[in-house]
Amino acid sequence: MIKHLLILTLFIPLSLFAQEAKRESIALTVYNNNLGVVRDVRLFNLKKGQSEVKLLDVPALIDPTTVKITASKHPKDVDILEQNFEYDLVNQETLLEKYIDKQISLTDDKGNKTEGTLLSSQGGQITLSSPSGILMFPNTSQYRISVPNLPEGLITRPTLIWNVNTSSSLTQEPLEVLYQTSGISWHAEYIAALADDDKSLDLTGWVSVDNKCGTTFENAKLKLVAGSVNKVQVQQDYSIHGSRGYANAETISKMAPSFEERGMFEYHLYDLGRQVTIKNNEVKQVSLLEADKVRSEKIYTYRGGRNAEVTIKLENTEKNNMGMPLPQGIVRVMKKDKDGSFEFVGEDRIQHTPRDEKITLKVGDAFDLIGERVVTDSKNNGDRTSRETIQITLKNRKDEDVTIDAVETMGYNNWEIIKQSMDFEKKNANEIIFHIPVKARSEQKVEYTVIRTW
């Protein structure tokens, strides 16, 4: 048996659809924290006196309290009297709600039509009042529902409407509409391809713009702002009825980096410098940077436990073929295998990183570098003083010599190492580092004694 889906037939006069104004330009600035700022310039034909101006294709998640419309060409001739944001969109539920106590018709799969006054509509169940009595339809999936027209107050798309007063008729008058919207954000991703000797890497960066705001931005000038912009959280409930669709992804083919970076207030701004279309429910990726032969260093660090961790360190400087403020994002580290294919070896997240700063990436734990930390002697003297002896054993199962940094946390501000088997570096008030060389296929022990007071 074939199941029939409910089909709602709507007869809408073409005159009810407002004509869209021609777009002159659009600019989109996207922030990290789910915020976009849009500058949309449209050309309107304005009659002398009061008239109505509509902007149909605005985001479903627009913040209408942020909207500002400006007549830049003739500011003294155009007065904005009133602004409205209409978002009660057409769908089956809202449409039938508008037809309570009005005439509708139901047609079954055999062509039999039933007409009556709609008394209720809820959860796919309809109750009609007809000349033959009260009719109840517990399951409307096999019926086509017809209504004569679109009720007042329902629209097909979220719409901004202005009442304006114009001192004279203006043809193709540019009006700039500025507003904020949620549902759009961006983030960065990086690929770091290590050289064979692990002493340099090639770094590529991409930005991903995720648009779920409810509209498409055609041929928009795109800017991205990196930084923590403070925004007051105001609860809003502009309930948009209708289908949201599913996200898809589009990647622009690999190209030379095209973003121009510059400072803006206390943040960094990335200007694409060309027009781009960002569709609704789309993730668009654009090349951010390419830096080749960036000098890097592989560091092994032991902090207790079993294995030493592996980190990659580099400097974000012009001298090191970089020197560009890097937006926060995930850096995925790759290494070429003997067959020439790149394999994933780990990833880490970086914060917003200014130029001339160091970057440290933890990529994982070293399989062949094993450690053991043992407290061989501990004594509490009873006068708020303790004495402890620690022995660290590092085992290198690799076929090459390595140096492992053993990091020890003292735990108190008042401490003194009175005995050690090798020199150490004091990193800060609570940490020391032993730089321990370990020969291939061998092990090395370090021992120290510390006195702590509190």
> Would you say residue 397 lies in a domain?
yes
Q: What percentage of the chain reaches a pLDDT higher than 90?
A: 58
Single-letter amino acid code for the residue at 242: G
> Would you say residue 103 lies in a domain?
yes
Radius of gyration of the chain (CA): 33
Q: What's the rounded mean pLDDT across residues 94-101?
A: 83
pLDDT for the residue numbered 311:
97
Domain boundary among 104, 132, 147: 147
Give the model confidence (pLDDT) of 251-281 as tens digits.
443 334 467 777 777 778 888 888 999 999 9
Q: Which of 421, 440, 450, 444 is nearest to 302 (CA)?
A: 444
On the question of pLDDT at 374 being above 50, the answer is yes
> Would you say residue 112 lies in a domain?
yes
Distance of alpha carbon 263 from the chain centroid: 21
> Would you say residue 86 lies in a domain?
no
CATH code of residue 130: 2.30.30
166 and 48 Cβ atoms separated by less than 8 Å = yes
Domain boundary among 99, 116, 147: 147
> Would you say residue 412 lies in a domain?
yes
Q: For residue 129, what are the domain limits? A: 91-147
On the question of pLDDT at 395 being above 70, the answer is yes
Q: Which of 93, 67, 89 is nearest to 80 (CA)?
A: 67
| Distance from C-alpha of 195 to C-alpha of 193, rounded to nearest angstrom | 7
Q: What is the pTM of this model?
A: 0.70
Give the model confidence (pLDDT) of 198-249 as tens digits.
999 999 999 999 999 999 999 999 999 987 666 666 555 544 444 333 345 4
On the question of pLDDT at 304 being above 90, the answer is yes
pLDDT for the residue numbered 148:
82
> Would you say residue 257 lies in a domain?
no
DSSP 12-78: --GGGSPPPPEEEEEEEEEETTTEEEEEEEEEEEE-SEEEEEEE----TTEEEEEEEEE-SSSTTTE
Task: Please tell me the total count of domains within the chain.
Answer: 2
Domain boundary among 82, 117, 147: 147
CATH code of residue 446: 2.60.40
On the question of pLDDT at 315 being above 70, the answer is yes
Q: What's the rounded mean pLDDT across residues 1-25?
A: 51
> Would you say residue 110 lies in a domain?
yes
On the question of pLDDT at 446 being above 90, the answer is yes
